Every structure is written in C-alpha cells, then in structure tokens.
Structure 1
Amino acid sequence: MTAVVEDKHRVPVRLLLARRDFRRLLYCRFSSQWGDGLFQTGLAGAVLFNPERGADPLTIATGFTALLLPYSVVGPFAGALLDRWDRRRVLVGANLLRGVLVVTATVGLLSGANSNLLFLLSLFVLGVTRFTGSGLSAALPHVVPGQNIIQANSFAVTLGSIMAVVGGGCAIGLRKLFGEGDTGSGITTSFAVIGCVLAAFFAIRFARGRLGPDEVDEPAATMLAVARGLIDGGRAAWRAPRVVAGLVALIAHRASTGVALLMAVLLMRYYFHDYGPLKAGLAGLGEIAAVVGVAIFIAGVITPRLVTRFGQNRVIVASLLVVAAAMLGLGLPMTLPSVLGAAFLLFGGSQVTKLCVDATIQTDVGDESRGRVFALYDTLLNITQVAAIALAATVVPDNGHSPGLIIGIVVIYLLGIVGYLLAIRRVRA
C-alpha cells in the first residue's frame, strides 16, 4: 500500500524545480558541497600526496579523523541549535564563517605549517560545515510538499553529492595547474571560499523563518538546549522504529566505507601502478571520485523507483547484500580496475540506503526534533567511521594490501543485514 501511495504522489522533477524556494535551497546545497569537496580534496592532496611531506597509515588515519571528527563533535550542537534558531540565519552565518576559516587554512598551507596544525584548522572548517549540512536537510520539508519529500530528497542529496565530487575533481585539476607542493596546495584550497560565499548568498535570499523551525521545543537556556540535543534526538529516533532500523544499516555501510577508504589511499600511493589509461596516486583517487559520482547519480535516479516497486525494506537489505558480494568478487583481487568496480558498488549501495533513511527521518520525525535526529544520525555514523579507520590503521600493511580487511568488511555487511532485520521487527510489532 505504501508503494502505491508513493507512486501516486510522484511528480516530474521539473515541477519540483518550478518551486523557487526549492531551487534556491538546491543552489545553496550545490555551492556548499562543491566548496566542501574542493577543500577536503585539496587538504588531502596537501598532506597525503604532497611530495614535500610523508604519509604512513597512522598519518592517513589522522587525516581522515580530522575530516570526520567535526561531524561527530559538532553534531549535537548543530542539532539543538537548528531546532532553536532561524535556519536561514544559521546557513548564512555558517557559510561566511567557513569562508574565513578556509582563508586561515590557506595561509597555513602557504606558510608551510606542519600537518597537525593543518588538521586542526580543518577541524574548525568542517565543524562549521556540519551546521550547513544539517540545516539543509532539516529545511527541505519547508520548501516541498510532504508527499514529495522522498523524491525531492533523492534529487537534492544525489546532485549535492555529485557537486562534492566535482569540487574534488576541480581540486585535482587546480593542483596540476598550480603545483603539488605547499604553495600550489594552498592556492588550490583557497578556491573553496567561492563555494562558501555563494552558499551564503543563496541562503540570505530566503525570507526570515521560511526554513523553520515552525515550533521551538527547547528550554530557555541555550546551553541547556545544546547539552540535551543528543538525548532528545535519541528519544525522537527511538519513537520512529524505521529510523532506528535504517541507522543500523547505515552504520554497517559507514564502518565498511571507512576501512575501504583507508585501504584505497594506501593502495593508490604505495601499491598500485598505472594500469593502461588508469592512473595511480592522487589521480587514482580522482578516478575513484569520478566512479563514486556516477554511482551516486545512478543511485539517486533508481532509488525512488526501487522503493516504489519493491518496498524500502527489500531495497535496503538488497543494497547490503550487493555490496558484500562486490567486496568479495571485486575487492579481494585488489587490482586497480577491480577496486574501481568495488568502489562503484560500495558507494552506490551506501547512497541507496542513505536516501531511504534520510527520507524516513524527514517523514517520520516531527519538525521540532528533526534537526536533532539528523545531528544524532551524523554523530553516530561519523564516530563509527572514525573508529573503523583507527582500528584498521593499526593492522593494515603500509602498502594497504590486506585481504583480511576485505573479509572483515564482508562480515560487517552480513552483521548489518541481521541487525536491520531484527530492528525492523519493531515496525511490524
């Protein structure tokens, strides 16, 4: 019955794009995520693929931690404040502050600052980015009709993720133009300011209060609101069993992705060599990013149709199974072409699940708690990914070639399937 209702209310994307505020929120998302992709890739290139610096598994794990930890630490604060403050003002202020911090990080790169200081600067930049990401997700139901949220979310998140990949590709191209040392990396990273300014420009064009929250369910003291953000988000999520089940599936995806990313960086830098037209090194990571972009786009196109035809439960379980099989068939050989194939299915499957869970939160959780649930969601997933990377860094060989870790990824997916099926029984009950 749910599938029939969803199909009945689907509208052509052009009708969604006819909504001015939806377009404006899209432009804000695209600008923000383009700048985010450029900054993260530029920083990764500056530290991990810089001929003037060295990188072992622990250094790479530290870099990933610097990129992911802000999403975990800032998440509770972002959630509580997004359910308290005007989200339009948050989007404007966060993007302008992020632009200032990007400039600061650029100065650090140009001056040859050490890697630890660069990681610290990135923590601040990406911490502010968390407010932007959560704000965009929480604001979406205010610019499209409720029955079109799944479709609109799929479209916005998919194209936003592709814009992040495009930003990463721009960073790789700019490094080729300006050089791969500290100076070239600094100039490259500075271009992320463009995305920050554009995102703030599009956000400020909304009317005050247009993006919510409609109601404020917060104590008078701001710090008290911040302190209880995670607890309230957890309670709101627990009252929505489909959200809990989706989080279980996404945790399996995110843990596996963390291990795979660490291995991919090491393999590209120390193990792989050019394979015909395929390149190793930072260019190889660019190829992975391109493959991931295609996978994300395809996932965005097919997910609403798959959910309409088969139902969300079957789609999520199938995505976990497909990726587990892909890691066995394509991940284990650990050749450059097979790793690209594994990356396609890994990120495609992960995106399918993410789109399902995002839409579930937007439909099953009230607006007064939605920001905190998205914050809890980000916090859990990013802590999971950081922990997985840290654990993998202690056992992975320096060149990244580890069949044992691939088997471990497969086991994580199988456990994720079992956990999802157990959690979804609460919905039926």
Structure 2
Amino acid sequence: MRGLLRRGDFRRLLGIRLSGQFADGVFQASLAGAVLFNPERAATPADVAAGFAVLLLPYSLVGPFAGVLLDRWTRRSVLLVANLVRSLQVVAVAALLVAGLGGTGLYLAALTVLAVNRFVLSALSAALPHVAEDDDLVTANALTTTLGTVAAVAGAGAALGLLQLVGENDRGYGVLAVSSTVGYLAAAALARGFTGAYLGPDTLEGHARSTARDVVVGLVAGIRHVAGHAPAVAALAVLTIHRAVYGITTLGTLLLYRNYFVPDGFFQSGILGLGQVLVIGAAGALLAAAITPLMSRRIGKPRWIVTLLVLAAVAEMTLGPPYELKPLLAAGFLIGGVGQAVKICTDTVFQEHVSDAYRGRVFSVSDTLFNLSFVGGLLIGARLLPADGVSLPVLFGVGAVYLLTATGYALAARRYRYPD
C-alpha cells in the first residue's frame, strides 16, 4: 500500500474517485431524503422499488454502449468532461426539488446524473491498471473501492448534518443537491492534471464519431472476449446474484427504518437511523479492504469469495430474525464487508483476465448487471415484503440463495486457474 501511495498518478486518480463519490453521497442523500423521508411527499414500498427501477433500468440497459465509447475516448477526457456535465445536471435536479416537483420529471432528471456517473465509475476502474503494477492490483482495488465507499458514506453523513441547518423540506433537499457540485468540480480539476492518453486505453479503437453499428460490433466483441474467460464469467455471476439479494435486503431495511423501528436511545429510526446503517456498513467495508488482499494471497480469491458468501448467509439467518436495531446494525456491518470484499475480488479477476483494449466494455457490462440485478431484487422485495419489512421467509430465502451461490461457485472455481 505504501508503494501505491508514493505514486503521484495513483494519488491523483484516487482523489478523483474520492471527490466524485463524496459528491455522490451528498446528492444521493438529498434525493433519497426528498423521496423517502420528506414529510411533504409520500411513497409506498412499490413506489420506492418503481423509483429505483426508473432511475437504474433505462441507463443500465444502454450501459454496455458506454463501455464501447470508453474504449474509443481517452479516459482522462471522460473523467474531465463527465464531472463538469454532472455538475450542471445536479443544478437542474435541485431546481425541481425546490419547486416541489416529483414523479417522472424528477426521476428522469436524476437519471441523467446517474447515467453520467456510469461513465465515471467505469473509466476509473478501467484506468486503474495504468497507475498500479499488476502485483498491486488487489491492494489497489481494495483501497480505491473501499475508500470510495467511505467517501460516499461521508458525503451522505455531511448531507444529514447540513440537513439539520437547512430543514427537512423541498427547499432544504434542493440546497443539499446543489452543494454536491463542489465535489464534482474538484474531481474535474484533478482529472485535468493527467496528460491526454496517460490513463489509456493503450490503443484507441476507431474514432469518437462512432456509428451505431460500430458500437454494436464493439459491444459484441467485448461480450465475446469476456465469455471466453471462464473465471470472469463466474465472477460476474457471483456479483450479479449478490446484488439481487442485496436489493431485497435494502428494500427491507428501508421499510423497517421507515415503518417499523422506533428510536432506542443512541439507535435511531427514520433517515437518521439509515445514516447509522450506512456508517456501520462503511466500517465493515473498511475491514474488508484491510483483510481482502491478505486473504486473497493466503487462501486464494475463489476460497475467499466462498467464505464471504457463507458469512453473508449466516448473518442474514441469525442477526436478521430478531428485527431489532442492534442486531440489524451488526448484520449491516457484516453484509457491508461482504459486498465490498466480493466487489474487490471480482474487479481484480476482470483486470487479470481481460485485456486493456476491452476493459471499458467489460466493466460497463459488469456495472449493468450490478444495477439490473439490484433493481430485480428491489422489485422482488416489493412483491414479497409487507409494508413494515418484517418477513422471516424472505430472510431465510436470502440466506439460502447465498449458500447455493457459495456451493456453485466453489464447484466451478475448481476448474479455473487464477494468478496468485
């Protein structure tokens, strides 16, 4: 880790991620608060799931096309321009919040911000091998993705603190949204410090004015490339399944804090309680980042992934059923760590098994599955969960899915060869 932090290019790329994800935390907290916990608005469980679907499904379906474009533009240009663009987009969303407008208009405006965010995150992941040696990729992924998550949580926490000053109303949430532009502008300024092709891709395919046919051909080539690497396919499968069940538990947690829990001393309900869940989940992610490089080297990535999936199953089936604040926070700590460690391992597998010319497309496909499966889990949860989020069959079903996934991956990974 010290070697990585001594590299100025690595620190700059990390700074872009931290600035942008801190701003993401502020913006997403303003949006979630306005839709879910604003007394001036109301939302049913189905509304929550539908809102996520409207936000994530459209740009997830076109997400792989972003990957083809990422391999045709320099990643420095993507990081610079995208951060400037989403600064302007956030101002438009804030205007809608202040005006008290909601529904499709608000969702579509927020969708534009998240669509640009897709380019940024995919570009950051694809650029990482250009600022870290191959032997340091596991550590680099652990450090960047985990600190990015912590930055997003810190941004959400800062937003909750600012909310106490501006008020829990449409105007207050609009002010929060505008404040996130500071982080996006800082990320753009840092991206400007890289030279043109420093972050890759090593070879630009075609030109920026690609036709629709060019994009489709490039996308098919990227899918064929990843399909020819079984370890990458298996990693995608694990990540997709984890995100689906995580979508179910996310909706359940939202419903519990909104409609079931009551404050118990230090432990809060409502949006403040969700803030505590985010903080404890970030703590779990930090622990995962600290131990994942060590565990990956000691027992290998496949065994570590299997261990994580089993741990998630145990957490769901033992800490969830009491439906009390303290055990749920403990479960949040473990699930937050599991999710982060699985993402670190799967990203590293992609970087090890996918050539640089295809990384943008592969990471965009991964991001698409990441979001589609999450939305699918939310929609399943909306169908299965009651209004207060309490359902033992759902909890045990989630645990069973984790165990089945662990078993399937353990059997499949026996046939693969992974770098140390």
Answer whether TM exceeds 0.5 for this pair: yes
Residues in 1 aligned to 2:54 and 2:14: alpha-carbon distance in whole angstroms: 27
Residues in 1 aligned to 2:254 and 2:167: alpha-carbon distance in whole angstroms: 20
Give unmatched runs, 5+ long, in structure 1. Answer: 1-12
Query: Which amino acid counterpart does residue 69 of structure 2 have in structure 1?
Result: L
Instruction: Name the % identity.
Output: 44
> Match for residue 396 of structure 1?
385
| TM, length-normalised to structure 2 | 0.96
Cα deviation for residue 311 of structure 1 reads: 1.0
> Match for residue 404 of structure 2?
415
On the 8 A contact 2:16/2:187 being kept in 1, the answer is yes
Query: Which amino acid counterpart does residue 180 of structure 1 have in structure 2?
Result: E
Cα deviation for residue 69 of structure 1 reads: 3.0
> Match for residue 5 of structure 2?
17
1:39 aligns with 2:27: yes
> Match for residue 427 of structure 1?
416
1:198 aligns with 2:186: yes
Name which of 328, 331, 341 aligns with 2:320: 331
Query: Which amino acid counterpart does residue 190 of structure 2 have in structure 1?
Result: F
On the 8 A contact 2:93/2:110 being kept in 1, the answer is yes
Residues in 2 aligned to 1:47 and 1:206: alpha-carbon distance in whole angstroms: 38
> Match for residue 316 of structure 1?
305
Equivalent residue runs for 1:27-176 within 5 Å:
27-69=15-57, 72-176=60-164
On the 8 A contact 2:55/2:108 being kept in 1, the answer is no
Equivalent residue runs for 1:166-245 within 5 Å:
166-217=154-205, 221-245=210-234
Cα deviation for residue 218 of structure 1 reads: 5.2
Residues in 2 aligned to 1:383 and 1:218: alpha-carbon distance in whole angstroms: 29
1:46 and 1:229, CA in 2 relative to 1: closer, same or farther beyond 3 A?
Answer: farther
Residues in 2 aligned to 1:74 and 1:275: alpha-carbon distance in whole angstroms: 44
Query: Which amino acid counterpart does residue 297 of structure 1 have in structure 2?
Result: L
Residues in 1 aligned to 2:28 and 2:313: alpha-carbon distance in whole angstroms: 28
Residues in 1 aligned to 2:156 and 2:218: alpha-carbon distance in whole angstroms: 32
1:376 aligns with 2:374: no
On the 8 A contact 2:23/2:183 being kept in 1, the answer is yes
> Match for residue 280 of structure 1?
269
Cα deviation for residue 276 of structure 1 reads: 2.1
Cα deviation for residue 237 of structure 1 reads: 1.5
On the 8 A contact 2:59/2:115 being kept in 1, the answer is yes
Residues in 2 aligned to 1:368 and 1:45: alpha-carbon distance in whole angstroms: 40
Residues in 2 aligned to 1:305 and 1:380: alpha-carbon distance in whole angstroms: 28
Query: Which amino acid counterpart does residue 56 of structure 1 have in structure 2?
Result: T
Query: Which amino acid counterpart does residue 198 of structure 1 have in structure 2?
Result: A
> Match for residue 300 of structure 1?
289
| TM, length-normalised to structure 1 | 0.94
Residues in 1 aligned to 2:23 and 2:65: alpha-carbon distance in whole angstroms: 22
Residues in 2 aligned to 1:221 and 1:199: alpha-carbon distance in whole angstroms: 27
Q: Deviations over 1:113-153 (max 9, x none)?
A: 12332211111100000000000000011112222111111
Query: Which amino acid counterpart does residue 311 of structure 1 have in structure 2?
Result: G
Range that drifts further, 136-145 or 55-64: 55-64
Question: What's the secondary structure of 2:323's corresponding residue?
Answer: coil
Query: Which amino acid counterpart does residue 64 of structure 1 have in structure 2?
Result: F
Question: What's the secondary structure of 1:209's corresponding residue?
Answer: coil
Q: Deviations over 1:56-81 (max 9, x none)?
A: 10111123224433651342122101
On the 8 A contact 1:47/1:115 being kept in 2, the answer is no
> Match for residue 8 of structure 1?
none
Cα deviation for residue 199 of structure 1 reads: 0.8
> Match for residue 252 of structure 2?
263
Query: Which amino acid counterpart does residue 167 of structure 2 have in structure 1?
Result: G
Cα deviation for residue 423 of structure 1 reads: 3.3
On the 8 A contact 2:63/2:118 being kept in 1, the answer is yes
Cα deviation for residue 226 of structure 1 reads: 2.5
Cα deviation for residue 381 of structure 1 reads: 1.9
Residues in 1 aligned to 2:194 and 2:92: alpha-carbon distance in whole angstroms: 29
Cα deviation for residue 170 of structure 1 reads: 1.2
Cα deviation for residue 428 of structure 1 reads: 5.7
Cα deviation for residue 339 of structure 1 reads: 1.2
Residues in 2 aligned to 1:43 and 1:310: alpha-carbon distance in whole angstroms: 41
Cα deviation for residue 382 of structure 1 reads: 1.1
Name which of 326, 334, 342 aligns with 1:353: 342
RMSD: 1.7
1:284 and 1:126, CA in 2 relative to 1: closer, same or farther beyond 3 A?
Answer: same
Residues in 2 aligned to 1:74 and 1:122: alpha-carbon distance in whole angstroms: 16
1:218 and 1:315, CA in 2 relative to 1: closer, same or farther beyond 3 A?
Answer: farther
1:426 and 1:228, CA in 2 relative to 1: closer, same or farther beyond 3 A?
Answer: farther
Residues in 1 aligned to 2:222 and 2:319: alpha-carbon distance in whole angstroms: 38
Query: Which amino acid counterpart does residue 342 of structure 2 have in structure 1?
Result: T
Give unmatched runs, 5+ long, in structure 2. Answer: none
- Residue-pair matches, total: 417
On the 8 A contact 1:251/1:381 being kept in 2, the answer is yes
Cα deviation for residue 426 of structure 1 reads: 4.1
Range that drifts further, 213-222 or 135-144: 213-222
Cα deviation for residue 349 of structure 1 reads: 0.8
Residues in 2 aligned to 1:278 and 1:66: alpha-carbon distance in whole angstroms: 32
Residues in 2 aligned to 1:376 and 1:67: alpha-carbon distance in whole angstroms: 17
Residues in 2 aligned to 1:385 and 1:232: alpha-carbon distance in whole angstroms: 26
On the 8 A contact 1:81/1:225 being kept in 2, the answer is no
Query: Which amino acid counterpart does residue 212 of structure 1 have in structure 2?
Result: G
